[in-house]
Structure 1
Amino acid sequence: MKNKATLLITLLSVLAFNSYAQSTAEKKGDKQYSKYAYIDATKTYERIAEKGYKSADMFLKLGNSYYFNADLPKAAKWYTEFFAMNPEAQPEIYFRYAQTLKSIGDYKKADEVMKQFDKVAADDMRAKNFKSKEDYMAEIKANSGRYNIEDAGINSEYSDYGSAYSGTRLVFTSSRDTGSFAQKKHKWTNQYFTSLYAADASPEGALMAPEKFAKNVNSKFHEATPVFTKDGNTMYFTRNNFNNGKKGKDANKITLLKIYKATLIDNRWDKVTELAFNSDAYSCAHPMLSPDEKTLYFASDMPGGKGQSDLWKAAINGDGSLGTPVNLGDVINTEGKETFPMLTDENELYFATDGHPGLGGLDIFMAQVKPDGTFKNPINIGAPANSPQDDFAYLIDTKTRKGFLSSNREGGKGFDDIYKFLETRKLICEQELSGIVTDLETGEVLANTKVTLMDEKFNKLEEVTSDDKGFYKFNSVECGKIYYVRAEKEKYETKEQRITISKTTGKTDLPIQLEKTVKPVTVGDDLAKAFGIKIIYFDLDKWDIRPDAALELEKILDVMKQYPTMKIDVRSHTDSRASFKYNEKLSDRRAKSTMAWLVKNGVDAARLTAKGYGETKLVNKCADNVKCSEEE
């Protein structure tokens, strides 16, 4: 493997392409949020806040409401107000606050909040990522032991690597017996220029003796890493900058790599042309087609990359031309080498890299492709697929879980060798996450509900709509992971649920019940219950309105202003301490005090009645002469 910078890139090139369970506090927060499900929370509470009322509970709910609707700058405003009154919070609120601070450009404060998040949730992976102390060796160990690997049976004492399927044949790269026109990449090797070889497979899957493939394509320089369309009529492959008998060089007179395209005409590979994005100034190599054959992936050190070699993709147009290359981005590419891409029909990108933590040399990683085309964080596929040496050129049949990889690990026959493998266990344990969306009160199924899947950092992963039976489904979620599912429907409150997926393959059922934004209120209904209004308490022997009581009364006031014909009856109660007559008078004063507050704030007295009931309607057994604790 160490000689591949010459074998595949240039005679003297320096590139080397081939080489939580939910906490009680969180549950409490969910319940607090649901208490206000019948009023448009943001409108009501902002009206209250504009009048100067301050409440940590109100500010938190305002922040959450805007956060759920992805209005992070406004969420930041109310979370800031919340933390000004209450410097301690549930771990998730610290994280949300940090996210919203970033949305307004306050990264310094966001980092400070993340440090607080780490203090209260040190075991959370987000905190670990923030501190950059993830134990990658533990991940590799967990992913190891999933492959049965053995020599593919086609290796030589030279370099053999980079296989591809062409019908029932395996086409690969080899530097075996290519004649006397041999220049070495490194003086401690004895490798010839590489050519393409092919081996037929027996009915049992064993590979037969290799023979040269497409002699008219093989030149006196390097050919390597082909990929074929499903109809077998088009091939993309890597070659030194050499075509039509002419050798190209860069400014330093170095012959680099290019990707070429050939067409099968009358059983002969012809019309060899280089792709338009090639250049004499940089290398392009190791092409791979997407399953739908509409995108070409490849490795290159072209301008705009992140490191020594990056992975790129280019759209294949209807006329066969190629679009402008697009870098796969920071999630995949590093300042090191990323090379040998392979995309499966299961939306998984396999590639070799030395830029992500591995066992040594090039390691093979897998990154899942998200629905929007971006990538999840790469995962090391573990030993024995990876070794302390270079491991690369991964190829798998997703139906049989059989495939090939290349490596220069110890114990091989040549410099690089091709190994065949059987994957005995998939890298990612996955489940189906699904459920039915219904109306909380009536049980009616809710069709056309938008359901969003988010990871534990609240990054949007996927969005679906419930069908006519209220059913929604996410086909693939990872076992053991924490997700958040958000449901949104017109005239209903947005609801967010936290779910931890089990650690075994299967299905997870998550029913969702939504509450209506507006709930009908009829004559005789308890307004406090209908609108989630807390009980109003008074100090001992007092009847003046406390600040916390005023906050609750503001909700009543807001509703009554919106519905000017609504009339309400204010009722006050006491416990059994003191005399029956005294309690009756005290509760009556409290009821009238409440009524007077509403009148003072603009409610017509004709719309109000008030009465004190004293100790006539106790909520427990603690009547006169019954022994009870102070708490009771």
Structure 2
Amino acid sequence: MKTILKNLPLFLLVCFSVNAQNLDKADKNYKNLAYVDAIKTYEKVAEKGYKSVDLFQKLGNSYYFNAKLKEANKWYAELFAMNQKVEPEYYYRYSQTLKATEDYAKADQYLDKFYALSGNDKRASLYKGQKNYKSTIDKNSGRYEVKITDINSKLSDYGAAMYGDQLIFSSSRESASMAKVSTKWTSNSFLNLYAAKRAENGSLSNPQKFSNSVNSKFHEDTPVFTKNMKIVYFTRNNYTKGKVGKDQEEVILLKLYRASLVDDKWIDIVEVPFNSDNYSVAHPALSPDEKTLYFASNMPGTKGQSDIFKVQITGDNTYSVPVNLTGSLNTEGRETFPYITEDNELYFASDGQPGLGGLDIFVTKLNKEGNPGGIINVGAPINGPMDDFAFLIDKPSRTGYFSSNRDGGVGLDDIYSFKETKVIELDCNQELSGIITNSETGEVLSNAKVTLFDENFKELQATQSDDKGNYNFSVECNKKYYVRGEKEEYETKEAPVKTPNKSGKTVLPLATAKKIREIKVGTDLAKTLEIPTIYFDLDKSYIRKDAALELEKVLVVMKLNPTIKVDVRSHTDSRQTFEYNDALSDRRAKSTIAWLIKNGVNANRLTGKGYGESQLINKCADGVECSEEEHQLNRRSEFIVVKM
């Protein structure tokens, strides 16, 4: 039954059996989220040879939303075989189902198409920036020993919380004490909370109903307990005091509830105040100090199908306004099932981050403000081609549990135990530093204001460069920043930087020039005006259009200062013969002079010469192996002021 609670979107529909007789009724079932009944009719229609984009989309979606990715793959393949225009989202869904069949090469092809169609989608940009995601995940893999537990039923068992020597989990196994009530999303019984005995080695036994006051005739799911085990937060359908709440579409959504343990009974079951009849709130998690509550929701402000939010607990069932987690954690996909360790590590499930298929489990380190750093896929065998979610770990013993609908299980979803055999580095810290200099003279600039911005240009920190021109910021791994340098009488300089996904130091120097620049005899106008290399085509000496744009800067200065005389000096690298380079550079110097004269500079104000490879500025002489960048430094033009 996790398919209801973890799958797109975060809501549930309660309805009774409908015998779909035709396509119109199937469409009605689909609209009402009764996917099981919709599938029955749609497949009968498809078996008769009927084909349409709408039919294959709905068949694919009906399986996709039930986490049956391999079945969805069949119908999405039929959809794309029609070669009709479809929304970009279907390229992403198809790629997910291809991963479920472990066809990662084809999945990446459709992710490339998804990126081309929707490059602004964070899922697309994450994929584009991590195209080697599979090899990265492989490096993180092999750190867990996994085995299935003994408490699984033939239906759904998933999501868990440690409660003393018990594991509290959700199950849709039928109860003899209740009449069978089922959801038409999956046709399975609604979930209740069960308690299983937990042994020191992690094995589970003797599952029993947890609490009659907490369990209802609808869904209960994913509890989290305070350390003193006196308060529990849990997920339930919108059902309070025997009354069912529905949204405008007559859908029963999910809400968070809070209960207190008094005299061994759970009482005072109340909603949290940021619930709503119009969106879902589910899957609670508590920070180590129990002052912050994390959860999944599709409330207004959600970036994707569900995001992870947090609120500050300010009193007895009073809270701050919910806010999305910052950074690159939330995507246009599903982020759900948060779990936080004593070390402030946040584990969560996502199908928007680059993964192996379906929901994968990821981990990040929360900073002191409770916001995430770099995102790491925990790798196989925890993650696989299907849905993997609801991770929790006991840090001292390095043992824990997660849920999955992978092949080889007992039921629709099963609970697995694990032992972590190798700890991954999560305390990823980056130092961003640099030196502020005068771009003309190389002089270091002290007391310059240096400001750090995030990728959306929100100001994060500000500092001053020291007496040696140095600045320093403590930043997060795997994030994009902008750094701005400012100093009186100098131009403002700004540059982007992306920190790597590992601890270390990132260096970003900033060189800026004075707003009013002094020109005197000996000044190289190329440096003063920050003119890059004047490029010529190979073995040619005529002025290209891009070179002409740079020469315009010299032209303006010479027209504004009619007494200036300039010596044009052209240089080459050491490749080719000395004689060849000497002749080529001389032709280029003369061509540059001719262009300036043609555009209004008197010929008696210009001299020039080619120096070939005779004045190299680095080691790259004949016979010395150098990079293209090193050779480029020698291919330069100089405009030296020889008279004012």
When normalised by structure 1's length, the TM-score is 0.54
Q: What is the Cα deviation at residue 367 of structure 1?
A: 8.4
- Is the partner of 1:405 in helix, strand or coil? strand
Which of 117, 129, 139 is the matching residue for 2:133? Answer: 139
- Is the partner of 1:313 in helix, strand or coil? strand
> How do residues 474-489 of structure 1 correspond to structure 2 at under 5 angstroms?
474-478=474-478, 486-489=483-486
Q: What is the Cα deviation at residue 473 of structure 1?
A: 3.2
Number of the residue aligned with 1:224:
221
Structure 1 Cα separation of the partners of residues 606 and 290 of structure 2: 78
Q: Does 1:171 align with 2:168?
A: yes
Residues 448-500 of structure 1 show CA distances to partners (whole Å, capped at 9, x for unaligned) of 5224465xxxx65884434675341344333xx9x675341223444456768
- Is the partner of 1:130 in helix, strand or coil? helix
- Is the partner of 1:449 in helix, strand or coil? strand
Q: Does 1:439 align with 2:437?
A: yes
- Is the partner of 1:435 in helix, strand or coil? strand
> How do residues 93-172 of structure 1 correspond to structure 2 at under 5 angstroms?
129-131=115-117, 139-140=133-134, 142-144=136-138, 145-151=141-147, 153=149, 155-157=151-153, 159-166=156-163, 170-172=167-169
What RMSD in Å do the two structures reach over aligned CA positions? 6.0
1:619 to 1:255, Cα distance in 2 relative to 1, 3 A: closer
Structure 2 Cα separation of the partners of residues 153 and 548 of structure 1: 70
Structure 2 Cα separation of the partners of residues 533 and 250 of structure 1: 65
Number of the residue aligned with 1:197:
195
Number of the residue aligned with 2:387:
390
Structure 2 Cα separation of the partners of residues 306 and 289 of structure 1: 22
Q: Does 1:554 align with 2:551?
A: no
> How do residues 468-617 of structure 1 correspond to structure 2 at under 5 angstroms?
469=466, 470-478=470-478, 486-491=483-488, 492-495=490-493, 505-510=502-507, 512-518=509-515, 521=518, 526=523, 528=525, 531-532=528-529, 551-555=553-557, 570=565
Structure 1 Cα separation of the partners of residues 515 and 205 of structure 2: 73
Q: Does 1:310 align with 2:306?
A: yes
Is the contact between residue 435 and residue 509 of structure 1 (CA under 8 Å) also seen in structure 2?
A: yes
Is the contact between residue 449 and residue 489 of structure 1 (CA under 8 Å) also seen in structure 2?
A: yes
Number of the residue aligned with 2:583:
none
Is the contact between residue 360 and residue 377 of structure 2 (CA under 8 Å) also seen in structure 1?
A: yes
> How do residues 224-243 of structure 1 correspond to structure 2 at under 5 angstroms?
224-229=221-226, 232-243=229-240
Is the contact between residue 288 and residue 344 of structure 2 (CA under 8 Å) also seen in structure 1?
A: no
- Where does structure 1 lack aligned partners over 5 or more consecutive residues? 18-122, 541-545, 561-566, 576-586, 601-609, 623-630
Q: Which has the larger radius of gyration?
A: 1
Identity of aligned residues (%): 32
1:510 to 1:289, Cα distance in 2 relative to 1, 3 A: same
Residues 560-603 of structure 1 show CA distances to partners (whole Å, capped at 9, x for unaligned) of 7xxxxxx976366899xxxxxxxxxxx9xx9xx99xx89x9xxx
Structure 1 Cα separation of the partners of residues 566 and 301 of structure 2: 72
Residues 528-557 of structure 1 show CA distances to partners (whole Å, capped at 9, x for unaligned) of 477348799xxx9xxxxx998674242356
1:349 to 1:414, Cα distance in 2 relative to 1, 3 A: closer
Is the contact between residue 181 and residue 192 of structure 1 (CA under 8 Å) also seen in structure 2?
A: no
Structure 1 Cα separation of the partners of residues 428 and 321 of structure 2: 35
Instruction: Output the amino acid matched with 1:477.
Output: C
Structure 1 Cα separation of the partners of residues 355 and 507 of structure 2: 37
Is the contact between residue 254 and residue 281 of structure 2 (CA under 8 Å) also seen in structure 1?
A: yes
Count of residues in Structure 1 that have an aligned counterpart in Structure 2:
463
> How do residues 615-626 of structure 1 correspond to structure 2 at under 5 angstroms?
none
Residues 404-426 of structure 1 show CA distances to partners (whole Å, capped at 9, x for unaligned) of 31123233344432223356475
Q: What is the Cα deviation at residue 157 of structure 1?
A: 2.7
Q: What is the Cα deviation at residue 507 of structure 1?
A: 1.6
Structure 2 Cα separation of the partners of residues 533 and 509 of structure 1: 25
1:351 to 1:268, Cα distance in 2 relative to 1, 3 A: same
1:511 to 1:385, Cα distance in 2 relative to 1, 3 A: same
Q: Does 1:272 align with 2:272?
A: no
Number of the residue aligned with 2:451:
450
Is the contact between residue 450 and residue 488 of structure 1 (CA under 8 Å) also seen in structure 2?
A: yes
Is the contact between residue 451 and residue 484 of structure 2 (CA under 8 Å) also seen in structure 1?
A: yes
- Is the partner of 2:273 in helix, strand or coil? coil
Is the contact between residue 151 and residue 418 of structure 1 (CA under 8 Å) also seen in structure 2?
A: no
1:431 to 1:250, Cα distance in 2 relative to 1, 3 A: closer
- Is the partner of 1:318 in helix, strand or coil? strand
1:297 to 1:490, Cα distance in 2 relative to 1, 3 A: same
- Where does structure 2 lack aligned partners over 5 or more consecutive residues? 17-31, 36-108, 119-123, 535-540, 542-547, 571-589, 615-635, 638-644
Structure 2 Cα separation of the partners of residues 150 and 395 of structure 1: 13
Number of the residue aligned with 2:630:
none
Instruction: Output the amino acid matched with 2:195.
Output: Y
Structure 2 Cα separation of the partners of residues 570 and 186 of structure 1: 87
> How do residues 280-359 of structure 1 correspond to structure 2 at under 5 angstroms?
283-289=280-286, 296-299=293-296, 310-311=306-307, 313=309, 315-316=311-312, 318-319=314-315, 320-322=317-319, 332=330, 339-342=336-339, 350-353=348-351
Instruction: Output the amino acid matched with 1:130.
Output: A
1:130 to 1:397, Cα distance in 2 relative to 1, 3 A: farther
Structure 1 Cα separation of the partners of residues 504 and 206 of structure 2: 46
Number of the residue aligned with 2:414:
417
Structure 2 Cα separation of the partners of residues 422 and 173 of structure 1: 22
